[in-house]
Structure 1
Amino acid sequence: MPVNPELVGRDFPPTAPYLVGREKVREFARAVFADDPQHTDPAAAQALGYADVVAPPTFPIVVTDATLQQLLAEPDSGIVLQNVLHAEQKFRYSRPIVAGDELTARLAVTGIRAMGAAAMVTSESEITDADGAHVVTATSILLVGEGSE
């Protein structure tokens, strides 16, 4: 089944709140080789004006994952995980993510472009804090091929 073009414009319910933990930020920083002290040392982050350690710029993918799981679980999507390649990822920030933030994400499918037997599916996850203020928008592009199921 090809990707359902009716996904465009579909909004998904908000994810459960994700509490950003200091150790999760440190683990992520180590995994992506973000060695700036603001990512691991609370004192270094506080010296820069932050309440706690600052997550590396790609950290929102941790929160965005829950939204992409919603998309993949849609029974009428036409998207089969084994045929998906994560082609592109962008982040547009209002402010950095800091340990202690409680974040919620909401996904919207913003575009589908056919490419032969494949499709490029673009989605945006709006990530907000506990006060409802925008923190970051994560734009994901998935390349979805047609394969045997």
Structure 2
Amino acid sequence: MPVNPEIQGRQYPPTPPYLVGREKVREFARAVQAEHPLHHDVDAARAAGHADVIAPPTFPIVIQQLTWNQLLDDPAAGIVLERIVHGDQRFTATRAIVAGDELTGQLTVTRVRSLGGNDMVTCETRVTDAAGEHVVTATSSLVVAGEPA
């Protein structure tokens, strides 16, 4: 079943708020080998003007994954998880994510196209804080393999 091209332009509801924990930031930083003290040491982060440790620049993928779940659980989308390859990822940040932030993501499918027997789905997840202020936009392309012949 190919991806439903009518999902282009679809916007999913905002996710429930995600409270960014200090230890989650540290765990993520270790996982991506981000060794800068701002990701691990509260005193260093505060000395640099932050309220707490700051997340590595790729941390928004945690929030984006929550929005992808909405897309993947949507039967009208026609996307089969087992056929997905992550094709591209970009982040455009307004500010750093800090432990203690309460973040919400909202996904919009910005493009659906077919290419070489596969479908490409481009999504943008706008991440906002508890005050509704923009923090980061995560843009990704998912390649959905076509049915085997």
Aligned pairs for 1:1-149 within 5 A: 1-147=1-147
SS at match of 1:68: helix
Q: TM-score, normalised by structure 2?
A: 0.97
Which string of whole-angstrom CA distances, capped at 9 and with x for unpartnered residues, describes residues 83-123 of structure 1?
00011110000000000000000000000121121011000
- Output the CA distance in 2 between the equivalents of 1:14 and 1:23: 25
User: Quick one: percent identity of the two aligned structures?
Assistant: 60
Structure 1 residue 32, shift from structure 2 partner: 0.2
- Output the CA distance in 1 between the equivalents of 2:113 and 2:47: 46
- The one-letter amino acid paired with 2:57 is P
**Segments ≥4 residues shifted beyond 6 Å:** none
- Output the CA distance in 1 between the equivalents of 2:147 and 2:39: 41
Which string of whole-angstrom CA distances, capped at 9 and with x for unpartnered residues, describes residues 60-90 of structure 1?
0001101001001110111100000011110
- Output the CA distance in 2 between the equivalents of 1:132 and 1:64: 17
Structure 1 residue ranges without an equivalent (≥5):
none
What count of residue pairs does the alignment treat as equivalent? 148
Structure 1 residue 50, shift from structure 2 partner: 0.2
Structure 2 residue ranges without an equivalent (≥5):
none
- Output the CA distance in 2 between the equivalents of 1:85 and 1:108: 19
Q: TM-score, normalised by structure 1?
A: 0.97
- The one-letter amino acid paired with 2:138 is A
